[in-house]
Structure 1
């Protein structure tokens, strides 16, 4: 494993209940895929959530990373600060999201950087938004967003479905 286990139990920290993680451990749980930073649309009648290939204004489509992670919430008012409590109410996290998986009691996928030791393993597995962002939110008119709906953020990558603890 790429990261050492808990000093007391020897177990990897990501196997602990989410509420027991330190702030640093919580942040490390994110694989950096950027899927949560894609603009989403909600059907008012059905409540169905649709992901688009349009990124938040702070999402760098070339790297798949936030251009101002520390200041994101002051610059993007609807940026969600993910917490254990917030996980209960958020239905749009992708199925590959480590926070979602751990909240559901599932293991991390085998391509997760905590398991591989390589932050690029997310891109190699086909999970990252890197190179897949069509535009930034500021570049697209709201009424044009349906033209950017994509299915891949709600799917597991074809090549790597296997998971390990």
Structure 2
């Protein structure tokens, strides 16, 4: 259990709290994903970039999705400057291209 808590704290620490994942997204024809920064989640405090219901966000907001390793690696919804992208996608993906296995 200690290891899980340590890993979870490290994982949560990747988030830069920018709030960019808390805006409406829409796919355009051709599979292009756009983020509408004029339409924030109703629970996002745009001044602090913090979620007002963070602890219960998955129950309070049906659009809120957990950022998993899979999401961090492959989701087009996360911007390039997202902490998860910088710490996971940009570090782990090159290993796959080189034929290496994941190591934590």
Partner Cα distance (1:89, 1:56) in 2 = 22
CA contact 2:25–2:33 (8 Å) conserved in 1: yes
- In the superposition, the TM-score normalised over structure 1's length comes to 0.48
Segments of structure 1 that go 5 or more residues without pairing to the other structure are 1-20, 107-165
CA drift at 1:80? 0.9
Segments of structure 2 that go 5 or more residues without pairing to the other structure are 1-5, 93-104
Q: How does 1:73-152 map to 2 (within 5 A)?
A: 73-102=58-87, 103-105=89-91
2:13 matched residue in structure 1: 28
Partner Cα distance (2:63, 2:74) in 1 = 15
Structure with the largest fraction of helix: 2
Q: Deviations over 1:31-87 (max 9, x none)?
A: 1000111111111x2111111121111101121110011101101112110011232
Partner Cα distance (2:77, 2:68) in 1 = 14
Q: Deviations over 1:122-157 (max 9, x none)?
A: xxxxxxxxxxxxxxxxxxxxxxxxxxxxxxxxxxxx
Structure with the largest fraction of strand: 2
| Matched residue count | 85
3-state SS of 1:49 partner: strand
**Which one of the candidate residues 44, 51, 59 is aligned to 1:59?**
44
- Which consecutive aligned stretches of 4+ in structure 1 deviate over 3 angstroms post-superposition? none
3-state SS of 1:99 partner: helix
3-state SS of 2:48 partner: coil
- Are 2:15 and 1:47 aligned? no
Q: CA RMSD in A?
A: 1.7
3-state SS of 1:39 partner: strand
